[in-house]
């Protein structure tokens, strides 16, 4: 067995900050805590938004301090998080994570106090305010966001009371769901014995249909047993939100989720209607897959099943150096800057990829804004999948890299734009891998790509339709568990173009999906679909635009300082409220479907 020689499998953290267990780090943390406390205290004394006297200068100076403290907050969370992830059993790192988490309310206090004064500011007053100090003009987008967000704030005393009541209301229902779902156990048969498993341990991806089917029905039965309590939670979560919207005069329950994602209603409507129009191609994929599995039609538990013929695409053991080389070369072919960046990240040891015990699960990329660096955490398992993860996380690191010289308050981007660079990077690598694969490998690679398409375009569409409809009904009354299941069943049939078997649906899906119960994030669904199609669409534009890598770079910079629509139209010239851009994204999916059907010999 060869070991990695060219690139280190472990990361380097010591140049970022002193070790978390050192006295020096302790001093840094104390200093940060006192600066944050002072900032929170001073946020209570901010002047009104006005051009009178020294108000603009005081605001500008305060926001500079915020940028500094917020950036240090990210640095420290990232630094402690990196140490904790690579040494999962270390109690001191866990304690420090707790210390930092306990300081979150102070950050909330500052953000809230920044937003409130904008509640009664009209556009004219806003323009005058931004014009009164260059430092304010520079972060104009951030301040306009504050103004837009302020529309979702009640008068201060009511807002504070509502936030306190939410602890035992809205957020309590969400916590109840976490407890109920966390305690749930599913009884499945294994080697003739009944064993109890948590939902995450019950797989629907087994190559054996009988195993998938049994697991599915066992899971369905278990989730159904807590459906009534979950229906209560769902009714009260949406009920709390709707009460607040009514108070605010917000008519549409999609206004807040759209605001959180910096996008407009027309964009969302166009995205869904264009998807709906193109869905028959996915039906073709599902029908072909059913044939390959020897079925008349697929059931819910067949959609992500592996193909019978599938040979694992990366049967040969892939060394880390080799994976780094393939990723760097593929990136460099797209744009020299991408290749050089990947090379630098690997050579400077920004990546922790070692396969060893004692690490946390999963992968992430985390940024250190004051150091203008990132760190990538993952476990390289010598598979093609882990090479894709490497490309994905490098995409995130590149996104932070191009934003590094922007004002700190313009380096944040919303959920729907967060995965653009990462998914894009994966797509570059995916195409390269497809081009060198055998037919059998290509068939299973395309199958995996198209199950993603089904997830983003059908499964998430069903979640969106369901959530939209139960919010509509909830305005007038509470919904029973049976009614919620009925709505989910209808939403699935519509979103999947009725492509699944008659008894192959999953009406209790709303009980099993945590995303419906996240207190602070209504509609935790459409941003995924938006992000998926956005990165595919941008990827496709490479065929028609000159100077494409530079346009991608400009777009990524704009994610921190533009509404989603403006970022796309300025960089690529497409209007997201028109179908043309979405059609291009869906063309990519259609080509994959056609290749899949052809390879399947249909």
Residues of the shown chain interacting with Zn ion in the complex, contacts defined by CB under 5 A? 422
| Shortest separation between residue 310's beta carbon and Zn ion, angstroms | 25
| Shortest separation between residue 30's beta carbon and Zn ion, angstroms | 33
Residue closer to Zn ion by CB (options 302, 426) is 426
Residue closer to Zn ion by CB (options 240, 422) is 422
Task: State the Cα angle at 237 between 234 and 239, rounded to 5°.
Answer: 100
Is beta strand 351-352 parallel, antiparallel or unpaired with respect to 373-377? parallel
Q: Do 539 and 588 form a contact (C-beta atoms < 8 A)? A: yes
Helices (H), 201-254: 209-224, 227-248
Residue closer to Zn ion by CB (options 43, 422) is 422
Residue closer to Zn ion by CB (options 56, 531) is 531
Burial of 375 (C-beta count, 10 Å sphere; 0-12/13-18/19+): buried
CA distance 322 to 384: 11
| Shortest separation between residue 515's beta carbon and Zn ion, angstroms | 16
| Shortest separation between residue 70's beta carbon and Zn ion, angstroms | 22
| Shortest separation between residue 77's beta carbon and Zn ion, angstroms | 17
**Shortest CA distance to 174 belongs to which of 575, 588, 515?**
515
CA distance 218 to 197: 10
Residue closer to Zn ion by CB (options 20, 414) is 414
**Shortest CA distance to 600 belongs to which of 315, 287, 353, 331?**
287
| Shortest separation between residue 253's beta carbon and Zn ion, angstroms | 27
Contacts of residue 3, defined as CB under 8 A and 6 or more positions apart, other chains included, come to none
| Shortest separation between residue 393's beta carbon and Zn ion, angstroms | 7
**Shortest CA distance to 230 belongs to which of 157, 173, 285?**
173
| Shortest separation between residue 418's beta carbon and Zn ion, angstroms | 7
Kindly list the distances between the CA atom of residue 449 and the CA atoms of 440, 463, 498, 583, 588, in Å, as whole numbers in the listed order.
14, 20, 21, 18, 11
Residue closer to Zn ion by CB (options 421, 458) is 421
| Shortest separation between residue 421's beta carbon and Zn ion, angstroms | 9
Residue closer to Zn ion by CB (options 113, 422) is 422
Per the listing, tokens 């346009």 go with: 551
The token pair that represents 542 in the structure block: 């490479």
| Shortest separation between residue 475's beta carbon and Zn ion, angstroms | 35
Residue closer to Zn ion by CB (options 504, 560) is 560
Per the listing, tokens 């690490």 go with: 359
Contacts 24+ apart (CB under 8 A), 560-563: 560/141, 560/403, 560/406, 560/410, 560/411, 560/412, 560/413, 561/141, 561/142, 561/406, 561/410, 562/141, 562/262, 563/262, 563/263, 563/264
Contacts of residue 436, defined as CB under 8 A and 6 or more positions apart, other chains included, come to none
Residue closer to Zn ion by CB (options 389, 585) is 389
What is residue 504's DSSP assignment?
-
CA distance 394 to 429: 12
Q: How many residues does the chain have?
A: 602
**Shortest CA distance to 35 belongs to which of 86, 79, 72, 82?**
72
What is residue 602's DSSP assignment?
-
Residue closer to Zn ion by CB (options 400, 422) is 422
Residue closer to Zn ion by CB (options 392, 513) is 392
Burial of 96 (C-beta count, 10 Å sphere; 0-12/13-18/19+): buried
Residue closer to Zn ion by CB (options 319, 352) is 352
Exposure of 321 in the CB half-sphere (CA atoms within 13 A)? 7
| Shortest separation between residue 394's beta carbon and Zn ion, angstroms | 11
| Shortest separation between residue 585's beta carbon and Zn ion, angstroms | 18
| Shortest separation between residue 501's beta carbon and Zn ion, angstroms | 33
Buried b (16+ CB within 10 A) or exposed e, 265-287: eebbebbbebbeebbebbebbbb
Residue closer to Zn ion by CB (options 113, 535) is 535
| Shortest separation between residue 412's beta carbon and Zn ion, angstroms | 15
Kindly list the distances between the CA atom of residue 239 and the CA atoms of 227, 244, 250, 478, 481, in Å, as whole numbers in the listed order.
18, 9, 14, 8, 15
| Shortest separation between residue 111's beta carbon and Zn ion, angstroms | 24
User: Which residue sits closest to Zn ion, CB atoms considered?
Assistant: 422
Residue closer to Zn ion by CB (options 263, 378) is 378
Residue closer to Zn ion by CB (options 132, 378) is 378
């Amino acid at each position: 067995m060869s070991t990695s020689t060219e690139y280190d499998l472990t990361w380097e953290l010591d140049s970022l900050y002193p070790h978390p267990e050192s006295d020096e780090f302790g001093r840094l943390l104390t200093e940060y805590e006192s600066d944050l406390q002072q900032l929170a205290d001073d946020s209570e004394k901010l002047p009104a938004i006005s051009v009178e006297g020294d108000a603009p200068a005081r605001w500008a100076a305060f926001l500079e301090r915020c940028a500094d403290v917020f950036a240090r907050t990210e640095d420290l969370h990232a630094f402690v998080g990196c140490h904790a992830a690579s040494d999962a059993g270390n109690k001191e790192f866990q304690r420090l994570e707790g210390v930092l988490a306990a300081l979150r309310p102070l950050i909330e206090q500052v953000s809230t106090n920044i937003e409130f004064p904008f509640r009664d500011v009209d556009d004219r007053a806003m323009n005058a305010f931004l014009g009164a100090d260059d430092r304010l003009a520079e972060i104009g987008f951030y301040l306009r966001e504050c103004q837009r967000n302020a529309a979702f704030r009640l008068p201060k005393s009511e807002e504070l009371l509502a936030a306190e009541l939410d602890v035992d209301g809205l957020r309590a229902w969400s916590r109840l769901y976490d407890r109920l779902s966390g305690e749930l156990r599913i009884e499945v048969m294994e080697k003739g014995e009944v064993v109890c498993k948590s939902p995450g341990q019950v797989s629907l991806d087994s190559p054996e249909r009988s195993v998938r089917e049994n697991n599915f029905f066992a899971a369905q039965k278990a989730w159904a047993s807590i459906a009534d309590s979950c229906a209560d939670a769902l009714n009260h979560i949406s009920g709390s939100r709707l009460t607040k919207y009514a108070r605010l005069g917000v008519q549409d329950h999609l206004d807040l989720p759209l605001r959180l994602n910096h996008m407009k209603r027309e964009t969302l409507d166009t995205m869904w209607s264009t998807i709906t129009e193109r869905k028959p191609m996915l039906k073709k994929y599902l029908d072909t897959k059913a044939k390959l599995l020897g079925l008349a039609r697929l059931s819910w538990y067949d959609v992500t099943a592996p193909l019978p013929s599938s040979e694992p695409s990366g049967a040969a053991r892939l060394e880390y150096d080799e994976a780094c080389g393939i990723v760097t070369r593929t990136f460099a072919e797209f744009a020299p800057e991408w290749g050089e960046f990947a090379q630098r990240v690997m050579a400077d040891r920004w990546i922790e990829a070692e396969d060893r015990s004692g690490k946390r699960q999963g992968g992430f990329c985390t940024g250190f804004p004051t150091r203008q660096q990132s760190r990538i955490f993952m476990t390289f398992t010598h598979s093609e999948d882990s090479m894709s993860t490497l490309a994905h996380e490098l995409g995130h690191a590149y996104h932070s890299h191009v934003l590094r010289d922007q004002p700190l308050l313009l380096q944040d981007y919303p959920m729907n734009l967060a995965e653009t660079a990462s998914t894009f990077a994966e797509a570059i690598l995916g195409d390269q891998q497809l081009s060198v694969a055998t037919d059998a490998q290509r068939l299973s690679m395309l199958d995996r790509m198209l199950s993603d398409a089904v997830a983003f375009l059908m499964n998430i569409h069903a979640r969106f339709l369901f959530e939209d409809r139960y919010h509509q009904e909830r305005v007038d009354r509470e919904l029973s568990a049976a009614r919620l299941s009925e709505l989910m069943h209808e939403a699935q049939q519509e979103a999947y173009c009725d492509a699944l078997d008659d008894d192959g649906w999953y009406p209790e899906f709303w009980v099993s999906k945590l995303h419906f119960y996240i207190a602070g994030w209504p509609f935790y669904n459409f941003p995924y679909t938006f992000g998926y199609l956005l990165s595919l669409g941008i990827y496709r534009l490479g065929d028609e635009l000159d100077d494409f890598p530079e346009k991608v770079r400009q777009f990524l910079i704009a994610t921190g300082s533009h509404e989603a629509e403006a970022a796309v139209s300025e960089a690529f010239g497409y209007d997201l409220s028109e179908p043309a851009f979405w059609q291009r994204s869906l063309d990519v999916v259609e080509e994959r479907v056609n290749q899949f059907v052809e390879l399947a010999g249909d």
